[in-house]
A and B are shown apart, each in its own frame.
Chain A
Amino acid sequence: MTTGPRGMRTIRSRRALAGYLFILPFIIGFLAFMVRPMISSVIMSLNEVTLSAQTGVTQKYVGLANYSYAFTVDPEFNQMLVDEVIRMVTHSLATMVISFMIALLLNQRFRGRTLARAIFFLPVILSSGVLVGIETDNSLIIGMKELIQESNGVNISDALITLLNASGAARSALDVVYELINAVYDVVMASGIQIIVFLSGLQTIPRSMYEAAEVEGSSAWESFWMITFPIISPLLIVNMIYTIIDFFMKTDNQIMEKIHEEMFINLNYGLSSALSWIYFAVAIAMIGISSLIISRGVKHYE
């Protein structure tokens, strides 16, 4: 304060410079490895890109043709997009509910709580990268399976299906049960981080609050809605965004596979860029809508 306005300014500008120096690596990386590919990806999505060994990359401007192709010509993309959006919505809602329930469970005192917490967090470590669905999603294995069945003339899954078909209604019931268990498994595997975030939020609520509510004659159900939920609700946004991004980034969804296929197998870079931008726009819209809805809800409780 005694240095006067001039001295203050130099200190401030020196601090500003230091701040810039600290984030400089990030700025460089962002411009070179994020903005640049983003721009070239947008350009590619507006072009027909062809690759050849002699001339390298050649681009021909086609306007929005790639986008209109995706929506109007491509036979499967619309359907895939709708499917994925529905899956995204149900999956993220289910994740929120289940991870919140598990956090409530883990917030109680019982023996082996730390172990249970560690197990619920295990999928964050183990279900990443290649370890996700290597058995089920391996197209090579599926191909091999068909090959084996052709060459041997023995078709196990077909035999099983006819057997189950014979039992009529049992099959659809079995399907429902099977899908349900599968869905719960998928959700639990994807909610490690969310559980911990909710749990830590729950642990910040002082016990005295519940005790006061109990003295005032509120039931456990009421204190859940009047105390627990309002305090936790800001975390809903964090978790929702995280869940959507996480879902969006998984390589095992149909759209990601299609983008990958267009790029690496059909070498159609323009179309694959257009597809990824459409998908990205959808995800951003989902994040926007859900945080809007939740923040409305949060305001309501405050």
Chain B
Amino acid sequence: MSRHETAKRSGFWLRNRKSGGMLLRQSVHQRAGSVLRALMVFGLCFLIIQPILDKISVSFMQERDLYDTTIIVVPRHLTLENYSLASLLMNLDKSLLNTALISLLTSVLQIIACALAGYGFARFEFPLKKLWFACVILVIIIPPQTISSALYLHFRYFDILGIFARLTGGPINLKGSTLPYLMLCATGMGLKNGLYIFMIRQYFRSIPQSLEEAAYVDGCSTLGTFLRVLLPQAVPILVSCFLFSFVWQWTDVFYTRLFLPTANVMYLSVRLSGLAESLRTYVSTRLGIPSPPIGYVMQIISTGVLIVAAPLLLIYVFAQRWFIETISATGIKE
């Protein structure tokens, strides 16, 4: 221990004596508080991360490692077979491409519609504005499931119009019917769009009005002002809404099942939810075993979850700021 430190330390005790034990109590208090805090934060974070870590470790194991009680986290027989099987069963190359395309397309459409509506609500005065805004709130509150039976029949109606055979169970050609979903997205009725409209409106309201007035004085049209002056200002909120929309579309099964043709076009989320089924058919046709052991099914599903979640994790690592900061910027303003 250096002299300086000893001096400091004796100084501490000296000061402690002078303060009547107050200093010691205070610093013990502080230290204990930060240890407790560290424990709590670590514990809660571990709670969130643990399932992911667990899946990672399981996904690299061979099946026999599962039944070996001496193996807890670190796999003994490393393998990549689970990944190749899971990606084979999910038609990874095709479904990844499709999912990426549809997520990109719907997100772009949704953000355009929501940005327009958000700007309209933030900056214009028009009759019945309150009513229409109440409708936005209604869209947030009414879950799609409530009207899903009607929407489903609507979808069937599309079915009956040109492309039949859903009821008879034959192979269906639903090529044209990505359109209804794109229509939904382009009119701001997609997944959680009410929320995006609300958030974008909040953001536009925080931009000073003088900007538009200056543009107006300079003779810029309303649309021109929106496109050239306001949109560049609103890039952060647009990016983050886009990211949210992309991520949620990526994992969505509800809308995908309801509106998108899933019979011959593959989507990751749908393939993942049917992974157990396809594993069973695969095993029974290839190996002649009626059903795979449950542990193995779990292993393949874990691998599948990781495959689906990996791009999202990557996006999150790089774009974390966009996700979190816009929520905090828009959330606090009523």
Contact = CB atoms under 8 A, between A and B. Distances in A.
A249 interface: yes
A148 B296 CA distance: 13
Q: Is the interface of A mostly helix, strand, loop or mixed?
A: helix
A273 B247 contact: no
A197 B203 CA distance: 15
B240 to A, nearest CB: 12
A122 B143 CA distance: 23
Interface string B39-81: 0110011011100100000000000000000000000000000
Interface residues of B, number: 93
B145 A29 contact: no
Contact of A126 (B34, B141, B153, B312): B312
A234 B333 CA distance: 10
A95 interface: no
Nearest to A123: B48
A259 B147 CA distance: 11
Contact of A105 (B37, B141, B248, B293): B37
A271 to B, nearest CB: 10
A110 B45 CA distance: 15
A34 B273 CA distance: 27
Contact of A199 (B120, B250, B298, B328): B328
A37 interface: yes
Contact of A32 (B132, B187, B324): B187
Interface residues on A, range: 35 or more
B45 A120 contact: yes
B150 interface: yes
A166 B290 CA distance: 34
A134 B301 contact: yes
Interface string A216-259: 00000000000000000011001000000100110100001001
Contacts of B320: 118, 121
Interface of A: 12, 15-30, 32-34, 36-38, 40-41, 44, 51, 53, 56-57, 102, 105-106, 108, 110, 112, 116-126, 128-131, 134-135, 138, 140-141, 144-145, 147-148, 151, 184-185, 188-189, 193, 196-197, 199-201, 203-204, 234-235, 238, 245, 248-249, 251, 256, 259-260, 263, 269, 272-273, 276-277, 279-280, 284, 287
Interface in B265-280: 269, 272-273, 276-277, 280
A26 B113 contact: yes
Q: Is the interface of B mostly helix, strand, loop or mixed?
A: helix
Contact of A135 (B248, B251, B252, B301): B301
Contacts of A287: 141
A201 B323 contact: no
B211 interface: no
Nearest to A12: B125
B149 A269 contact: yes
Contact of B327 (A53, A193, A203): A193
Interface string B173-202: 000000000011011110000000100000
